């Protein structure tokens, strides 16, 4: 097994492992929610026999919420790692993330809000019952702790919600690859002098050029250099890992067959090129890597 195949296999194993961890943590997150609600029901059922239990639920719920939030953050971190280091543009996590950023009220946010509502409502009901049972100094102290626990839970859960919202727009110079692509299509000469957008006999240009209509595979930009050689241009707005080279090699071979070209070049442009990708292309001919940097200049008018 050569170095490139071994590296891709390692990435696949790592991808499957972290995806399994996400699924396990989502299951655990739901179990924490169900346990929190079941505990509320059990304690309220004991209300008539032992009134002190109603004072304990909001405090116990706070610790369960801490576990829920920690697990929720971990799920978000793993998803971000998959998108940045393990997936190409056709990956599931990348697809879901892009769709989330286009929706004002997506399903994942409704799920988070429902979880927040369930936990907080159970706490409020318990505190309401506790208020009617206050009859001593110890009860007043526990009631004060219940109020504090409720406030802590609300803060934690809503911070988790807005943390996700912030993650929708990850810190990239371009909000989407669409922006980067549109800019480069209009300025191909900043990549290389003499580079022009490809156009086939039917009039279809090289923007999102389809190489196989059966599986909807499209090249970000297909260009022609000054020597008439096709150039496959692959774009990544964040960090580009070695897995992207497999996609580019597939595009290159499809273009060789589709337009009967003996030679096809590959250019990969990303905000950051990983060391693994640099290593993966060392022995590949006609593959160039570029990192883009942006600057802004303001002029008074």
Interval 122-128 mean pLDDT: 86
Interval 81-109 mean pLDDT: 61
Contact 67, 35 (CB under 8 A): no
**For the chain, what is the mean pLDDT?**
77
User: Does residue 226 share a domain with residue 268?
Assistant: yes
Domain that holds residue 244: 177-291
CA distance 228 to 231: 9
The CATH number assigned to the domain holding 279 equals 3.40.1350.10
User: Does residue 112 share a domain with residue 32?
Assistant: yes
Interval 275-298 mean pLDDT: 82
Does 267 have pLDDT greater than 90?
yes
Task: Classify residue 299: in a domain, yes or no.
Answer: no
> Which residues pair with residue 219 across a beta bridge?
209
Structural domain ending residue among the three candidates 168, 190, 218: 168
pLDDT at 171: 42
User: Does residue 87 share a domain with residue 51?
Assistant: yes
User: Does residue 31 share a domain with residue 150?
Assistant: yes
pLDDT at 173: 43
Look up the pTM and report it: 0.50
Does 93 have pLDDT greater than 60?
yes
Task: Classify residue 163: in a domain, yes or no.
Answer: yes
Interval 53-70 mean pLDDT: 81
pLDDT at 170: 45
pLDDT in tens, 222-254: 999 999 999 999 988 666 667 788 888 999 999
């Amino acid at each position: 097994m050569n170095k490139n195949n071994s590296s891709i296999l390692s990435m696949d194993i790592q991808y499957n492992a972290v995806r399994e961890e996400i699924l396990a943590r989502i299951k655990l997150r739901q179990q924490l929610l169900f346990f929190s609600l079941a505990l509320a029901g059990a304690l309220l059922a004991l209300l008539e026999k032992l009134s002190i239990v109603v004072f304990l639920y909001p405090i116990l719920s706070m610790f369960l919420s801490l576990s829920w939030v920690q697990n929720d953050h971990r799920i978000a971190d793993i998803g971000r790692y998959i998108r940045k280091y393990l997936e190409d543009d056709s990956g599931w996590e990348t697809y879901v993330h892009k769709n989330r950023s286009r929706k004002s009220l997506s399903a994942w946010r409704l799920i988070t809000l429902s979880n927040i509502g369930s936990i907080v409502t159970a706490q409020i009901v318990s505190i309401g019952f506790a208020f009617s049972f206050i009859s001593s100094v110890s009860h007043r102290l526990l009631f004060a702790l219940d109020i504090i626990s409720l406030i802590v839970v609300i803060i934690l859960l809503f911070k988790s919600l807005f943390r996700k919202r912030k993650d929708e727009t990850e810190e990239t110079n371009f909000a989407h690859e669409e922006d980067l692509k549109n800019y480069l299509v209009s300025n191909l000469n900043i990549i290389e002098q003499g580079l022009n957008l490809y156009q086939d006999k039917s009039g279809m240009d090289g923007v999102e050029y389809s190489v196989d209509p059966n599986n909807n595979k499209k090249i970000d930009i297909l260009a022609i250099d000054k020597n008439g050689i096709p150039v496959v241009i692959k774009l990544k707005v964040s960090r580009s890992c070695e897995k992207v080279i497999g996609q580019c090699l597939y595009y290159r071979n499809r273009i060789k067959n589709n337009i009967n070209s003996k030679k096809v070049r590959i250019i990969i442009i990303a905000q950051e090129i990983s060391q693994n990708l640099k290593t993966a292309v060392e022995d590949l001919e006609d593959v160039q890597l570029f990192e883009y940097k942006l600057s802004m200049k303001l002029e008074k008018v």
